[in-house]
Structure 1
């Protein structure tokens, strides 16, 4: 299954150098949140509009192949009052699981 994550180019570049991507979402680390926020193909554009519209630094869309992950992915709502589910990656993302990077 393919899922998507919006990242700053700087965070993605750092992950490639270190071997682990650990930014949960804009300004929040995996350690702080407990998982990495991700989206399905029909969700990422809405996430970009809602949370990244004012970002001026370069962004990239990471396309992640879940079969290449060695950490769990769980479909769940991002907050108690939200009914729509999103894929959450429970652990650091190995850059090798990213099969395509698209500049946004």
Structure 2
């Protein structure tokens, strides 16, 4: 997930390179079942988020399932991408907003997954 403006800056043949790639050496990602966890923890009140649906086969960089930082109390692991994500690897872009009751939920366009 990222801000819509950050995603809009990625040129058609370009790569998504968030600050975490330079700072931590990887891009923090989630699967469909865990995307709400970092959103709830880090992005409450943001109305500009988009959820990038990524095809791991098109990334071209190592994808490793690892503990979060800090590790999740339930032992949930998250995918980390160890390199930039090519725009061509993003197969869907979905608005990601908090529900009326608070907290993020998977967009209806992804709920069947």
Q: TM-score, normalised by structure 2?
A: 0.75
2:45 and 2:13 mapped to 1: Cα distance?
28
Partner of 2:43: 52
Among 15, 23, 30, the residue aligned to 2:21: 30
The residue correspondences of 1:8-87 to structure 2 (distance < 5 A) are 8-16=3-11, 19-23=14-18, 28-56=19-47, 58-79=48-69, 81-82=71-72, 83-87=75-79
Structure whose residues are more often helix by fraction: 1
Asked if structure 1 preserves the Cα contact closer than 8 Å seen for 2:13 and 2:88, the reply is: no
Q: What TM-score, normalized to structure 1?
A: 0.81
RMSD over equivalenced CA pairs, Å: 1.7
Aligned position for 1:98: 90
Question: Which 4+ stretches in 1 moved above 6 angstroms?
Answer: none
| Greater strand proportion | 1
Structure 2 stretches lacking a partner, 5+ long: 97-113
Larger radius of gyration: 2
Deviations, residues 14-33 of structure 1 (Å, cap 9, x unaligned): 1235701011xxxx431111
Q: Deviations over 1:23-58 (max 9, x none)?
A: 1xxxx43111110000011000122111111325x1
